[in-house]
Structure formats: C-alpha cells, structure tokens
Amino acid sequence: MAGFNEIDRVRTPKGQYISASPLGGSGRPKRAIDAVPVPLVLVVVALLGYGLLVVWSAIQTNENYSFSRQLMGVAMGVVAMLICYSFDYRRLANYTTFLLIVNVVLILSPHLPVIGVESKGAQSWVKIGIQLQPGEFAKITVILLDAAVMSKFGGRLDDPREFIRALAYIAIPFLCIMTQPDLGTGLVYLVIGAVALIMGGARWKYLIVLLGVFVGLIVAVFAIDEVLKNATGDYVLLKQYQRNRLLVFLDPSADVTGTGFNLNQAMIAIGSGGLFGKGLLNGSQSSLGFVPESATDFIFCVLAEQFGFMGALVLLALYLALVLVSIRIARESSDLFGTLIVMGIVGMWLFQILENIGMDIGLMPITGIPLPFMSYGSSFMMVNFALLGLIGSVYAHKG
C-alpha cells in the first residue's frame, strides 16, 4: 500500500501526470473564488432552505422530532463539507484495501455490544453520546472505494478476472449492510457500484451477464424463502414487512387499512395539494398525522400537499440543477478517480430522488430511503454535506 507521500503526481487516463498540489496547472495559486463551485453552492443553499422549511412544517405536530437537532446536523455537515473540501481527494486513489477495511468496520459496528442499537427491526445504529447510523456514513467510503477500484483500469476493463475482482470489492459493503439488515441502504450501495462499473469502462457483455445473475438471484431468494416457509413456518431470507411492501407496490389497493395504509395516505396527501397547495402548515393529511414518517421517508408528501404541483416542480428543478452542475464538474475533472467520485455521488442522489418520490406516488416499492437535503435526519444531512465537500475538492483540483 503506497504512502501519502508517494502520490505527489497522479496519472490521468490519457497517460498525463498532474500535480497533487492545490495550485492550478500553471503553478500559480488560484483565486479563492475560482476554487469554489459557486453554481453548486447556490443550488444547495436553495435546496437546504426549502428543505428546512418543509421539515419545520412537518414536525410541528410531532414531538418525536427536534428542529434544533436538524439544524445541528446542518452545522456538523458544513464542518464535514469544509474538511472534505480542503483535503486533496487524489491522495486516496491507491488506498483500496484501506477503504475496504473502513467500510467493513463502519457497516458492522452496530453489531458491537454496548454501542449497537436496534431500531425498527434493524441493527443499524450506534450510540456514542449521540445516536448515529454508520451505514449512512459508509456511503462516503463506498463511493471512494468503488471509484478507487475502477480508476485503476484507466477507463477500460476487459479482463474478466479483473472484473470479478472489482466486483468483489463492490459487493462486500452490500453483503455487510444486509447483516443489519438494511435493504434500502444496500440498494444505494449497489447503485453506486453500478455507476462505477459503467463509468469505469467495464465491458457491456460483463454488465449484461451481471444483470442477468442479479435478476436470477432475486428470483432464487423468493423461491428459497417459500421453501423455507413451508419447512419452518416463517420466512427467513426476507422479512415479512419487506414482502408486504412489495405486495403493496404491485397492488396499492390491497389492505388499505393495514399494509397499504402508508402508500394510500401518501397519495391522498399529494393529490389534495392540487396546483398550488394548501399553504404552509395547512396540510390536513400531514398535520393531522395521517402520513407516517412525514418528516423522513414521506417528506415529499408534506411538500406536495402544502405547496402543490408547482412546489414539487420547484423541487425537481433544483434537483435537476444539482445533477447538471455536478456532472459538469465530473467532466472537467483532471483524472478518472475524480470523475468516478462525482458520478458516484450523482448516481446515488438520482436513485434516492427517484426512489423516494416514486414510492410516495406508487411508482416504486416503499423503502427507507430519504430525500437528499430535504428529509429529517442529522446523519443523512452530514453525509450529503460531506459529499458536497468531495465534489468541491474535485472542482478545486481540476487543474
């Protein structure tokens, strides 16, 4: 494993070498404003302000949430962002083994006695003074790990043995998170890995075979679970609530007072918002507690009910701007490692946006995946800000 001092120069996919110093390509210091992606900052400020307003309105009738805790998450997130921004991301390019170890330790830490905390059927939390979700923070190291693995192939991965080796690195964090189990976060890890494989130059025939194997494994899980159910009287591989969520996705009208209650209340809230919404704090479904987890998983319902279709359109426009600005930074990166980092973040955000909003309107299965910069949660907010810092680091070192 190479030491930090051995990465003074980084080789680009074109065979060029660039300095790992914060100086520009000419060797002259950049102006401070030139090292900051101003459009990205403006978009995030708008998203954050919008998100804090919606969260504040969502928790007014729920004493289980604290707005000051959300603000604390933002403050800690800004600190994490500045730390990541000031660090030269290229120094981690050769540290795949180290990053893999960090991932495993983070994801498995909730299983440790004393500090591990079980909540809602999952062993996903640790309590060390404050309660944190290590699987959320591992999203950062998963992105770095997958980018570091795939950047070594210079944008083209033809060797099937190397493909399998890269796949193993990508699969280990997913297997670890499923021991909790946390399927939602696991799916995020898989999306990040898929983006790294595609953008990193893996041959399409390998990817098609991998997709076929993945679909086959899903079918096998359901088939084996049915056999185990007949033998033991209970499902083993998939929890009952996970199966119920899939059944509700296939038939939203099934069991509207039980398993399908969340989805039906979410769609009622969104539909009742109309074009311009009912106004701040005037959403009947969310304010009266009919929408469960209104500040976290179903925050989009609160927004749509209070601000209507136009408010939802504003949110989607802000997300589109966030994605486009980030993609531009990825394209301008001075090396493949930086490009893969930013594209991994973009892929993660896109998946979370599509899944969260999609599950609220019945187009995606219900999972515990929050909405970036909108949902309540200090760990989630800190992670998103730290990822912004990584994007800023890529931008500042583009040469």
Among 13-17, 159-163, 229-233, 264-268, the least confident range: 13-17
Query: pLDDT tens for residues 305-351?
Result: 999 999 999 999 999 999 999 999 999 998 999 999 999 999 999 99
Return the higher-pLDDT residue of 291 and 204. 204
Beta bridge partners of 17: 11
Overall residue count recorded for the chain in this entry = 399
Q: Across residues 216-238, what is the average pLDDT?
A: 81
Q: Across residues 259-286, what is the average pLDDT?
A: 84
3-class DSSP assignment, residue 143? helix
Is residue 41 within 8 Å of 326, Cβ to Cβ?
no
Q: Pairing between strand 122-128 and 116-119?
A: antiparallel
Task: Say yes or no to pLDDT of 27 above 60.
Answer: no
Task: Say yes or no to pLDDT of 159 above 90.
Answer: yes
Return the higher-pLDDT residue of 159 and 7. 159
Output the pTM of the full model. Answer: 0.87
Among 115-119, 260-264, 390-394, the least confident range: 260-264
At 299, the pLDDT band (50, 70, 90 cuts) reads: very high
**Structure confidence at residue 230 (pLDDT):** 79
Burial (CB < 10 A; 0-12, 13-18, 19+), residue 38, is: exposed
Task: Say yes or no to pLDDT of 253 above 80.
Answer: no
Q: Across residues 69-85, what is the average pLDDT?
A: 94
Is residue 139 within 8 Å of 348, Cβ to Cβ?
yes
Task: Say yes or no to pLDDT of 13 above 50.
Answer: no
